[in-house]
Amino acid sequence: MGGARTMRTRPGETEQHAAATKRHATNRQAVIRRHGTTALRRWGGVVSMALACLLAAVAVAFVPALPQLRGDTGRGGDGGASGGERLTQAAPARADDCESPESSLRPSPEDGPTIEKIKQRKVKKLIVGVDQNSYRWGYRDPNKSVGELEGFDIDLAREIAEKLLGDRNAVVFRAIPTNQRIPAIQSGQVDMVVRTMTINCERIKDVAFSTAYFETGQQVLAPKTSGITGYNETLKGKKVCSAAGSTAESALKEKSFGADIRTTVPNQLDCLVRLQLGEVDAVVTDSALAAGQAAQDPTVQLKGKEPFTTEYYGVAMRKDADDLVRRVNGVLDDYRKDKDGWRHSYNKWLAADLGKSAGPPNPKYKD
């Protein structure tokens, strides 16, 4: 992880990444914002849109000082405290037809038809789609008690079950491959998906998301000895692996720098298998997951100084399940503030690989 840490603590070149997010300017802002995290956090969440540009300019001033600053505090940031105003700014970069996919419904403690239905089940349990292959997020430690899943996402799923049904263990976990997350929700196979799922404009057409609970971005993972330096021209002619149906796959399809991107697998971890077997040269996945891969293999590292996109994880639910979305947003609100909540879980699972966190992203609402 040392390698990954050094790679991710310095501010990076941004121009080459521009194509992925389409706009140079906003992309640069995204990077700056992430680096300005520590400083910006102090202003809290009540800064107006008009101030945003000024803020960016101020942030630019911080950049030269950042390497040293970050070197001291570890590699925090991508778990990042993102102020609400910065989210607003990020939105235009995502897509022109959808302003801010991270905006969800305001919390409400009311039970609606969806929650009623869950409570009336013969076996009163919440059915949650998770991953069992993402180290530190949702995985099975083969040496621990038989078949128990654990990780950051699993903690969150249990928290939601406790708040909804009064029992942390009232959860049925269903492992779901990356490209089955949306179909599983739509078919009613699961009530919700808590599985490092990025909120984006494409997906909100099919499912409803909670407010953001984690900030991350796509990053390249390759062997330490590899000539690949990041999401750039060094990928030319290399074989790059991604999970089918993942954000990484879409990003690579949009711009691959001449890489061979035919290898897609059901789960991001399967990419590490291919990488270790020499079947591919690099992996593209969320930096949070890539860090989990690097933690399992000390000979690989995250490439590029920073993730080349900015994304947020959310809990996905049925598109018409407004009551459930509001309830989950309520749970997330408490979870962010709670001492035993978000921070506790972050420190337990992610701090070792991702460094100190500035805190959860602030919620955004559309109503």
Partner 1 sequence: MDRLRAAATTEPGRLRAIGAVLAALVLAFGAITTWQTTSRADAADRVLNRSQPLSNDAAAIYRSLADANTAASSGFLAGGQEPAKVRERYRRDIDRASEKLATAAANAGSDSSSATSVSELNKLLPQYTALIERARANNRQGLPLGGAYLRYANDTMQTQMLPAAEKLYKAENKRLNGDYADAKPYPWLAIAFGVAALAALGWAQRRNYRRTNRVFNTGLVAATTAAAVALLWLLAGHTFARSGLNESYEDGVKSLNVLNDARISSLKARSNENLTLVSRGAETVAVGSATKDKFDVAYQRQMARLAGGEGGGNGGGLLDEAAKLADDESGERPVETAAKNVTEWKDRHKSARASDDAGDYEGALDAVIGAKSGEAAATAPSTGESFDNVDAALDLALTHELREFRSAAQDGKGAMAGLPVGAAVLAVLGAAAAVIGIGRRLSEYR
Instruction: Give the span between the Cα atoms of 297 and 269, in whole angstroms.
Output: 11
- SS3 (DSSP) at 93: helix
Rounded CA separation 110/286 (Å): 34
Residue 147 makes contact with partner 1 by CB under 8 A: yes
Least Å from the CB of residue 196 to partner 1: 13
Residue nearer to partner 1 on the CB measure, 292 or 360: 292
CA separation for the pair 155, 136 (Å, rounded) = 11
Report the alpha-carbon distance of residue 82 to residue 214 in Å, rounded. Answer: 9
Residue 242's beta-bridge partner residues? 264
- DSSP-derived letter for residue 363 is P
Contact with partner 1 (CB under 8 A) among 52, 58, 60, 170: 170
Least Å from the CB of residue 5 to partner 1: 20
Binding residue count for partner 1, defined by CB under 8 A = 37
Segment interacting with partner 1 (CB under 8 A) among 40-48, 137-145, 317-325, 327-335? 137-145
Strand partners, 313: 198, 214
CB atoms within 10 A of CB 72: 8
Is residue 269 within the footprint of partner 1 (CB under 8 A)? yes
The H or E element that residue 161 is part of is helix 152-165
Of the listed pieces 107-115, 168-176, 243-251, 340-348, which binds partner 1 according to CB under 8 A?
A: 168-176
H/E segment holding residue 219:
strand 218-223
Nearer Cβ to partner 1 (48/143): 143
Closer CB to partner 1, 251 or 269, in the complex:
269
Q: Considering only 44-52, 218-226, 234-242, 267-275, which stretch makes contact with partner 1 by CB under 8 A?
A: 267-275
Stretch that binds partner 1, among 9-17, 38-46, 201-209, 262-270 (CB under 8 A): 262-270
Q: Of 16 and 189, which has the nearer Cβ to partner 1?
A: 189
Residues 97-126 that bind partner 1 (CB under 8 A): 123, 125
Q: Which of 135, 79, 46 is nearest to 307 (CA)?
A: 79
By CB under 8 A, residue 133 contacts partner 1: yes
Residue with smaller CB distance to partner 1, 173 or 308: 173
CA-nearest of 36, 29, 25, 34 to 65 is 36
Kindly tell me which residue out of 66, 154, 164, 171 binds partner 1, with binding defined by CB under 8 A: 171
Task: State yes or no: residue 174 binds partner 1 (CB under 8 A).
Answer: yes
Contact (Cβ atoms closer than 8 angstroms) between residue 71 and residue 9: yes
Is 348 one of the binding residues for partner 1 (CB under 8 A)? no
Q: Are 280 and 263 in contact (CB under 8 A)?
A: yes
DSSP string across 98-150: -S-TT-BPPP-----HHHHHHHTSSS--EEEEE-SEETTTEEE-TTSSTT-EE
**Residue 15 in tokens:** 């121009």
* Given 141, 233, 254, 334, the residue binding partner 1 (CB under 8 A): 141
- Which residue, among 286, 281, 295, has the nearest Cα to 225 in the 3D structure? 281
Q: Which of 208, 235, 243, 272 binds partner 1 (CB under 8 A)?
A: 272
Instruction: Rank residues 66 and 185 by Cβ distance to partner 1 and give the closer one.
Output: 185
Q: How far is the CB of 96 from partner 1 (least distance, A)?
A: 35
Give me the least distance between CB of 125 and partner 1, in Å please: 5
Taking CB under 8 A as the binding criterion, the range among 29-37, 239-247, 268-276, 345-353 that sits at the site for partner 1 is: 268-276
Query: What is the rounded distance in angstroms from the CA atom of residue 135 to the CA atom of residue 294?
Result: 10
Interacting residues with partner 1 (CB under 8 A): 123, 125, 132-135, 139-148, 170-177, 180, 184, 187, 189, 266-267, 269-270, 272-273, 276, 296-297
